[in-house]
Structure 1
Amino acid sequence: MMKLTVFLFATALFCAIANVNAQLESDDYEEEDECPCMTPFNWLPKCGSDGQTYPNEEAIKCQNECNDDRVTIAHDGVCEGDVHFGLV
Protein backbone atom coordinates (compact mmCIF):
# COMPACT_ATOMS: atom_id res chain seq x y z
CA MET A 1 0.00 0.00 0.00
CA MET A 2 2.88 2.37 0.78
CA LYS A 3 4.41 1.82 -2.67
CA LEU A 4 1.10 2.67 -4.32
CA THR A 5 0.81 5.87 -2.29
CA VAL A 6 4.35 6.93 -3.20
CA PHE A 7 3.73 6.08 -6.86
CA LEU A 8 0.50 8.11 -6.97
CA PHE A 9 2.14 11.05 -5.22
CA ALA A 10 5.11 10.98 -7.62
CA THR A 11 2.76 10.79 -10.61
CA ALA A 12 0.69 13.73 -9.36
CA LEU A 13 3.86 15.76 -8.72
CA PHE A 14 5.18 14.97 -12.21
CA CYS A 15 1.87 16.06 -13.80
CA ALA A 16 1.84 19.30 -11.80
CA ILE A 17 5.41 20.14 -12.85
CA ALA A 18 4.65 19.34 -16.50
CA ASN A 19 1.58 21.59 -16.37
CA VAL A 20 3.58 24.49 -14.90
CA ASN A 21 6.26 24.10 -17.59
CA ALA A 22 3.61 24.08 -20.32
CA GLN A 23 2.05 27.25 -18.90
CA LEU A 24 5.43 29.00 -18.75
CA GLU A 25 6.20 28.09 -22.37
CA SER A 26 2.73 29.24 -23.42
CA ASP A 27 3.21 32.59 -21.65
CA ASP A 28 6.60 33.06 -23.33
CA TYR A 29 5.03 32.50 -26.74
CA GLU A 30 2.26 35.01 -26.10
CA GLU A 31 4.78 37.67 -25.09
CA GLU A 32 6.69 37.21 -28.35
CA ASP A 33 3.52 37.65 -30.43
CA GLU A 34 3.11 41.33 -29.61
CA CYS A 35 1.40 42.28 -32.85
CA PRO A 36 -1.44 39.94 -33.72
CA CYS A 37 -3.10 40.89 -36.98
CA MET A 38 -6.55 39.95 -38.13
CA THR A 39 -6.10 38.71 -41.67
CA PRO A 40 -8.59 36.79 -43.78
CA PHE A 41 -8.07 33.09 -44.39
CA ASN A 42 -8.36 33.41 -48.16
CA TRP A 43 -5.53 31.80 -50.10
CA LEU A 44 -4.41 34.25 -52.76
CA PRO A 45 -0.64 33.76 -52.44
CA LYS A 46 1.67 36.68 -52.99
CA CYS A 47 5.43 36.50 -53.31
CA GLY A 48 6.98 39.19 -51.15
CA SER A 49 10.05 41.19 -52.06
CA ASP A 50 11.78 39.31 -49.22
CA GLY A 51 11.36 36.00 -51.08
CA GLN A 52 8.73 34.71 -48.67
CA THR A 53 5.29 33.56 -49.79
CA TYR A 54 2.39 35.21 -47.97
CA PRO A 55 -1.14 33.78 -48.00
CA ASN A 56 -2.61 37.09 -49.18
CA GLU A 57 -1.93 40.81 -49.51
CA GLU A 58 -3.27 41.52 -46.02
CA ALA A 59 -0.61 39.25 -44.52
CA ILE A 60 2.09 41.39 -46.15
CA LYS A 61 0.49 44.53 -44.72
CA CYS A 62 0.49 42.88 -41.29
CA GLN A 63 4.17 41.95 -41.64
CA ASN A 64 5.01 45.54 -42.48
CA GLU A 65 2.98 47.01 -39.60
CA CYS A 66 4.20 44.60 -36.95
CA ASN A 67 7.87 44.53 -37.86
CA ASP A 68 8.31 47.95 -39.43
CA ASP A 69 9.30 46.19 -42.66
CA ARG A 70 8.91 47.41 -46.20
CA VAL A 71 7.96 44.18 -47.94
CA THR A 72 6.23 44.74 -51.26
CA ILE A 73 4.49 42.30 -53.59
CA ALA A 74 7.04 40.96 -56.06
CA HIS A 75 4.41 38.99 -57.98
CA ASP A 76 1.19 37.03 -57.57
CA GLY A 77 1.58 33.39 -56.59
CA VAL A 78 4.09 31.38 -54.59
CA CYS A 79 7.72 32.49 -54.55
CA GLU A 80 10.03 30.29 -56.59
CA GLY A 81 12.06 27.98 -54.36
CA ASP A 82 9.88 28.60 -51.28
CA VAL A 83 10.34 25.34 -49.35
CA HIS A 84 7.45 26.14 -46.98
CA PHE A 85 5.00 25.35 -49.75
CA GLY A 86 6.86 22.42 -51.27
CA LEU A 87 7.92 24.27 -54.39
CA VAL A 88 11.64 24.00 -54.98
Structure 2
Amino acid sequence: MKIVCVFLTALLAQAFAGDQCPPGPCTMDYNPVCGSDGQTYPNLCTLKNAQCRNGGLTVAYQGECKAECLRACTLDYRPVCGSNGKTYPNKCVFEVANCQDGSLTVAHQGECKSECLRACTMDYTPVCGSDGKTYPNECVFETAKCQDGSLTLKSQGECLHAQLL
Protein backbone atom coordinates (compact mmCIF):
# COMPACT_ATOMS: atom_id res chain seq x y z
CA MET A 1 0.00 0.00 0.00
CA LYS A 2 2.84 2.35 0.90
CA ILE A 3 4.50 1.74 -2.49
CA VAL A 4 1.25 2.61 -4.31
CA CYS A 5 0.96 5.93 -2.39
CA VAL A 6 4.57 6.87 -3.15
CA PHE A 7 4.07 5.95 -6.81
CA LEU A 8 0.87 8.04 -7.11
CA THR A 9 2.52 11.00 -5.37
CA ALA A 10 5.50 10.84 -7.73
CA LEU A 11 3.20 10.50 -10.74
CA LEU A 12 1.15 13.56 -9.72
CA ALA A 13 4.27 15.59 -8.98
CA GLN A 14 5.65 14.79 -12.42
CA ALA A 15 2.34 15.63 -14.11
CA PHE A 16 2.22 19.09 -12.57
CA ALA A 17 5.97 19.86 -12.53
CA GLY A 18 5.89 21.82 -15.79
CA ASP A 19 2.52 23.46 -15.11
CA GLN A 20 3.20 26.94 -13.79
CA CYS A 21 -0.46 27.91 -14.09
CA PRO A 22 -2.58 25.36 -12.32
CA PRO A 23 -6.20 26.38 -12.81
CA GLY A 24 -7.66 28.26 -9.86
CA PRO A 25 -11.12 27.37 -8.65
CA CYS A 26 -13.79 29.52 -10.32
CA THR A 27 -17.47 29.79 -9.51
CA MET A 28 -20.09 28.76 -12.02
CA ASP A 29 -21.51 32.32 -12.06
CA TYR A 30 -22.19 33.54 -15.57
CA ASN A 31 -21.01 37.13 -15.79
CA PRO A 32 -19.41 37.03 -19.26
CA VAL A 33 -16.37 39.03 -20.30
CA CYS A 34 -14.94 39.35 -23.78
CA GLY A 35 -11.20 38.71 -23.93
CA SER A 36 -8.78 40.57 -26.17
CA ASP A 37 -8.47 37.26 -28.05
CA GLY A 38 -12.12 37.61 -29.14
CA GLN A 39 -13.25 34.74 -26.92
CA THR A 40 -16.14 35.02 -24.45
CA TYR A 41 -15.21 33.82 -20.95
CA PRO A 42 -17.99 32.85 -18.50
CA ASN A 43 -16.57 35.15 -15.83
CA LEU A 44 -13.48 37.15 -14.90
CA CYS A 45 -11.98 34.24 -12.95
CA THR A 46 -11.89 31.98 -16.02
CA LEU A 47 -10.30 34.78 -18.05
CA LYS A 48 -7.66 35.25 -15.32
CA ASN A 49 -6.86 31.52 -15.49
CA ALA A 50 -6.44 31.80 -19.28
CA GLN A 51 -4.39 34.97 -18.76
CA CYS A 52 -1.93 32.97 -16.66
CA ARG A 53 -1.17 30.87 -19.73
CA ASN A 54 -1.38 33.78 -22.20
CA GLY A 55 0.18 36.83 -20.54
CA GLY A 56 -1.01 39.24 -23.21
CA LEU A 57 -4.69 38.43 -22.66
CA THR A 58 -6.80 41.29 -21.28
CA VAL A 59 -10.48 42.10 -20.82
CA ALA A 60 -11.70 43.84 -23.97
CA TYR A 61 -15.11 44.62 -22.46
CA GLN A 62 -17.81 43.30 -20.15
CA GLY A 63 -20.35 40.97 -21.75
CA GLU A 64 -20.22 38.39 -24.50
CA CYS A 65 -18.01 39.03 -27.51
CA LYS A 66 -20.09 40.31 -30.39
CA ALA A 67 -19.47 38.62 -33.72
CA GLU A 68 -18.90 41.91 -35.53
CA CYS A 69 -16.45 42.99 -32.83
CA LEU A 70 -14.30 39.85 -32.97
CA ARG A 71 -10.79 40.58 -34.07
CA ALA A 72 -7.47 38.96 -33.29
CA CYS A 73 -5.06 41.46 -31.79
CA THR A 74 -1.31 41.16 -31.42
CA LEU A 75 0.37 41.14 -28.02
CA ASP A 76 2.41 44.27 -28.83
CA TYR A 77 2.37 46.72 -25.94
CA ARG A 78 1.84 50.18 -27.39
CA PRO A 79 -0.61 51.59 -24.85
CA VAL A 80 -3.52 53.82 -25.79
CA CYS A 81 -5.53 55.88 -23.30
CA GLY A 82 -9.27 55.74 -23.93
CA SER A 83 -11.73 58.54 -23.20
CA ASN A 84 -13.07 56.34 -20.38
CA GLY A 85 -9.74 56.66 -18.52
CA LYS A 86 -8.78 53.03 -19.21
CA THR A 87 -5.41 52.07 -20.67
CA TYR A 88 -5.61 49.59 -23.55
CA PRO A 89 -2.51 47.51 -24.43
CA ASN A 90 -2.65 48.62 -28.08
CA LYS A 91 -4.92 50.30 -30.63
CA CYS A 92 -6.42 47.00 -31.79
CA VAL A 93 -7.63 46.10 -28.29
CA PHE A 94 -9.01 49.65 -27.97
CA GLU A 95 -10.91 49.24 -31.26
CA VAL A 96 -12.43 45.94 -30.09
CA ALA A 97 -13.63 47.66 -26.90
CA ASN A 98 -14.95 50.61 -28.90
CA CYS A 99 -16.85 48.25 -31.20
CA GLN A 100 -18.80 47.12 -28.13
CA ASP A 101 -19.16 50.55 -26.49
CA GLY A 102 -19.32 52.80 -29.54
CA SER A 103 -18.65 56.01 -27.65
CA LEU A 104 -14.93 55.68 -26.95
CA THR A 105 -12.30 57.94 -28.41
CA VAL A 106 -8.53 57.88 -28.05
CA ALA A 107 -7.61 60.45 -25.40
CA HIS A 108 -3.90 60.13 -26.16
CA GLN A 109 -1.15 57.64 -26.96
CA GLY A 110 0.43 56.03 -23.92
CA GLU A 111 -0.94 54.95 -20.57
CA CYS A 112 -3.72 56.92 -18.91
CA LYS A 113 -2.50 58.99 -16.02
CA SER A 114 -5.01 60.58 -13.74
CA GLU A 115 -4.89 62.22 -10.37
CA CYS A 116 -8.55 61.23 -10.08
CA LEU A 117 -8.00 57.47 -10.06
CA ARG A 118 -8.45 55.90 -6.65
CA ALA A 119 -9.41 52.55 -5.22
CA CYS A 120 -12.94 52.53 -3.80
CA THR A 121 -14.67 49.87 -1.76
CA MET A 122 -17.70 47.99 -3.03
CA ASP A 123 -19.83 49.28 -0.12
CA TYR A 124 -23.26 50.40 -1.24
CA THR A 125 -24.05 53.62 0.61
CA PRO A 126 -25.58 55.56 -2.29
CA VAL A 127 -25.35 59.30 -2.84
CA CYS A 128 -27.09 61.44 -5.43
CA GLY A 129 -25.02 63.74 -7.64
CA SER A 130 -26.14 67.03 -9.18
CA ASP A 131 -26.01 65.22 -12.54
CA GLY A 132 -28.96 63.06 -11.46
CA LYS A 133 -26.84 59.92 -11.19
CA THR A 134 -26.80 57.65 -8.17
CA TYR A 135 -23.24 56.83 -7.10
CA PRO A 136 -22.71 53.62 -5.09
CA ASN A 137 -20.72 55.44 -2.39
CA GLU A 138 -18.97 58.75 -1.65
CA CYS A 139 -15.60 57.50 -2.89
CA VAL A 140 -16.99 56.76 -6.35
CA PHE A 141 -18.77 60.14 -6.27
CA GLU A 142 -15.54 61.96 -5.31
CA THR A 143 -13.72 60.25 -8.19
CA ALA A 144 -16.41 61.49 -10.62
CA LYS A 145 -16.27 64.95 -9.02
CA CYS A 146 -12.50 65.05 -9.58
CA GLN A 147 -13.09 64.43 -13.28
CA ASP A 148 -16.00 66.90 -13.51
CA GLY A 149 -15.37 69.90 -11.27
CA SER A 150 -18.95 71.16 -11.62
CA LEU A 151 -20.41 68.04 -9.98
CA THR A 152 -21.86 68.55 -6.49
CA LEU A 153 -23.49 66.29 -3.92
CA LYS A 154 -27.26 66.67 -4.14
CA SER A 155 -28.28 64.31 -1.34
CA GLN A 156 -27.52 61.16 0.60
CA GLY A 157 -29.26 58.08 -0.78
CA GLU A 158 -30.37 57.20 -4.29
CA CYS A 159 -31.56 59.86 -6.72
CA LEU A 160 -35.25 59.66 -7.54
CA HIS A 161 -35.71 58.43 -11.13
CA ALA A 162 -31.95 58.30 -11.37
CA GLN A 163 -29.47 56.70 -13.63
CA LEU A 164 -27.41 54.26 -11.56
CA LEU A 165 -23.68 54.64 -12.19
**For residues 22 and 49 of structure 1, do their structure 2 counterparts lie closer, same or farther at Cα, with a shift above 3 Å needed?**
same
- Partner residue in 2 for 1:53: 134
For 1:6-30, what per-residue CA distance to the aligned partner results, in whole angstroms no more than 9, with x for missing partners?
A: xxxxxxxxx8x8222862436877x
Residue 123 of structure 2 corresponds to residue 42 of structure 1: yes
Partners of 1:50 and 1:24 lie apart in 2 by 28
**For residues 54 and 74 of structure 1, do their structure 2 counterparts lie closer, same or farther at Cα, with a shift above 3 Å needed?**
same
Partners of 2:130 and 2:94 lie apart in 1 by 36
- Partner residue in 2 for 1:25: 95
Partners of 1:83 and 1:58 lie apart in 2 by 18
TM-score by length of 2: 0.33
| Higher relative strand content | 2
- Partner residue in 2 for 1:5: none
Q: Which has the higher contact order (CA 8 A, sep 6+)?
A: 1
TM-score by length of 1: 0.55
Q: RMSD over aligned Cα, in angstroms?
A: 3.4
What residue identity is the alignment partner of 2:142?
A: K
What residue identity is the alignment partner of 2:124?
A: W
- Partner residue in 2 for 1:80: 160
Q: Report the number of matched residues.
A: 68
Percentage of identical aligned residues: 24
**For residues 83 and 51 of structure 1, do their structure 2 counterparts lie closer, same or farther at Cα, with a shift above 3 Å needed?**
closer
What is the SS of the residue equivalent to 2:72? helix
Partners of 2:163 and 2:148 lie apart in 1 by 25
What is the SS of the residue equivalent to 1:70? coil
| Contact 2:129 2:151 (C-alpha < 8 Å) held by counterparts | yes
| Higher relative helix content | 1
Unaligned runs of 5+ in 2: 1-37, 39-69, 74-90, 99-103
Unaligned runs of 5+ in 1: 1-14
